[in-house]
A and B are shown apart, each in its own frame.
Chain A
Amino acid sequence: MSLTTAHAEPSIAGVCDYIALMKPRVMSLVVFTAFVGLMVAPGQLHPVIGFAAILCIAVGAGAAGALNMWYDADTDGRMARTAARPIPAGRIAPGEALAFGLTLAVFSVVILGLLVNILAAVLLAATIAFYAIIYTMWLKRRTPQNIVIGGAAGALPPMIGWAAATGGLSLEPIILFLIIFFWTPPHFWALSLYRSEDYAHAGIPMLSVVAGPTETKLQILVYTLILAPLGVLPWIIGYAGPIYGVVAAVAGAAFLALALRLRGEQHGFTACKQLFGFSILYLFVVFAALLVDHMSAVLFGHLAA
């Protein structure tokens, strides 16, 4: 990767370009899952400290996104989906993006450590490093298992939220981690099925490019078969209540039905687009249900007392 600016002209990058560099849509899911992890953790956390933790996690996620875009600028430029991103479009120079990403990464980790606790800061640093180095620089261009292993980075935010609230970790945040970890492959492989040509053109060995759509659909089904019961696990072990249990079971069954339908689809991309859209809804609904379930238990606990 070149560190030099692409042109000697002064930058025309606006604030929106730097926000785009932070992948705001990915960030919103990271913030939401971290927020749920923080809220459902036992104990009391001052709202200001909680806000500081979420802000640092959001900025850390943005840093990881910026570092990813810096390294992937060449492949992004070859894909229709990503060609308009700030670096391939020439609005931000690669060196500026790298400096921006590193600055945000250092600030977010140090401030989380100073204002909240060291464990949360270490987990945030690990998340950024895992996404930028292990996933982006190492796995993404080398193996079709890239998003399976790289998915760990996206699965860590609820654990960071939990660690921020409690200063420790336990089984519950690990289950939340596993839910996102096993959700990631069906989510990205559904996208890659109808963007296969794009990925092939960019030289990224997504499963759909390397093994074909039939194998990818089978793998989506296998991971969904693991995900659906895993989603209900917090209720089974008594960590979440019936509100969560019912929502997670119904959402898991719908996910499974869509994965089965996708497996049966021979032509067209309707089923994979539906599965991709539903996968985002699934994660949001499951985590929202966990939050509602927890808040209602707290409320009823107060009313009963």
Chain B
Amino acid sequence: MSEQKPDRGIRLTEQQARARRARSIAIAVALGVLVILFYIVTLVKGPAVLVRPL
């Protein structure tokens, strides 16, 4: 009976892993900025945050 090799999936090269890590950090930073922006704007606008005039 022949022994099957385990499927190891896609193995990232060092460059690919580095690029993926940089992209992940950038997405995290962008989301963080968005959360902070919404928080501060809510404080600035107060109850008027729900008013949307044209």
Contact = CB atoms under 8 A, between A and B. Distances in A.
A167 B54 contact: yes
B22 A14 contact: yes
B19 A12 contact: yes
Interface string A113-140: 1110111000000000000000000000
A305 interface: no
Contacts of B4: none
Contacts of A48: 40-41, 44
Nearest to B51: A117
Interface string A218-233: 0000000000000000
B54 A115 contact: no
B2 interface: no
A42 interface: no
Chain B contact-residue range equals 20 to 34
Interface in A1-60: 9-15, 18, 46, 48-49, 52, 55
Contacts, number: 49
A55 B38 CA distance: 13
B37 A10 contact: no
Contact of A118 (B10, B37, B54): B54
Contacts of B37: 52, 55, 111, 115
Interface string A188-223: 000000000000000000000000000000000000
B23 A14 contact: yes
A197 B34 CA distance: 44
A117 B19 contact: no
Given A48-B40, A52-B41, A167 B20 contact: no
Contacts of A115: 37-38, 41
B44 A49 contact: yes
Interface string A165-178: 00100000000000
B40 to A, nearest CB: 5
A13 B23 contact: yes
B22 A15 contact: yes
B12 interface: yes
Interface of B: 10, 12, 15-16, 19-20, 22-23, 25-26, 34, 37-38, 40-41, 44-45, 52-54
18 contacts: A10-B10, A10-B16, A10-B20, A11-B20, A11-B23, A13-B19, A15-B23, A15-B25, A15-B26, A18-B23, A46-B44, A49-B41, A111-B34, A115-B37, A115-B38, A117-B52, A117-B54, A119-B54
Interface of A: 9-15, 18, 46, 48-49, 52, 55, 111, 113-115, 117-119, 167
